[in-house]
Amino acid sequence: MRRLSSLSFAALFTAAAAAHSAPSSIVGVLKDQGAIDGCSWSAEAPAIGKGLFFLAEYDQSDVLMNLLGADVHLKRNTASTRGALKRMGETLREVYEGPGIRVEVSYTAIGICGPKDTECEDTQFKAVFKVDAGGSEQTIVATGDVGC
């Protein structure tokens, strides 16, 4: 039988311990996919799973994300709002907060309603969510829409 050197064993043990103690994803798919009805913001990311991980009232008075395994209500920090999604390529930056949670989002418009399109009611966006919760951080690239 081959002997592992103490250095090799220590490296193997350290890697195994890190694998068992590595935190799982901070962000998950919302348990209640229909928690916010009607005109709203929504986002999904294949890396998170099938379904929405972000929902918000159209006016963002209520923001909902699944963080650390639970659907959590967050508040928008209006003082941090910058930009708009009125034209293709425009960027909107928002910050959402809760106890021990901070989510910074950069939305970029990738689909908007044409001036003569009376049937169109939403704007599509791509977004980068930077989540800090429970002392851990995660970045999610997502797509979504806002509208009715």
Residue 65 burial (C-beta neighbours within 10 Å; 0-12, 13-18, 19+): buried
Phi/psi at 19 (5° precision): -65, -35
pLDDT in tens, 52-80: 999 999 999 999 999 999 999 999 999 99
> What is the C-alpha to C-alpha distance for residues 17 and 20, in angstroms, rounded to an integer?
5
Q: Which residue has the higher pLDDT, 1 or 53?
A: 53
The residues that bridge with 40 in the sheet, in sequence order, are: 57, 147
Provide the residue ranges of all domains of the chain, joining segments of one domain with +: 25-147
- Amino acid (one-letter) located at 131: V
Four-point Cα dihedral 26, 105, 113, 61, nearest 10: 80
Q: Are the C-beta atoms of 107 and 91 separated by less than 8 Å?
A: yes
Task: Show the tokens assigned to 10.
Answer: 């220590």
Share of the chain above pLDDT 70, in %: 84
Q: Are the C-beta atoms of 118 and 128 separated by less than 8 Å?
A: no
> What is the C-alpha to C-alpha distance for residues 112 and 13, in angstroms, rounded to an integer?
53
When pLDDT is averaged across residues 103-112 and rounded to a whole number, the result is 98
When pLDDT is averaged across residues 95-103 and rounded to a whole number, the result is 97
Q: 15 pLDDT band (50/70/90 cuts)?
A: very low
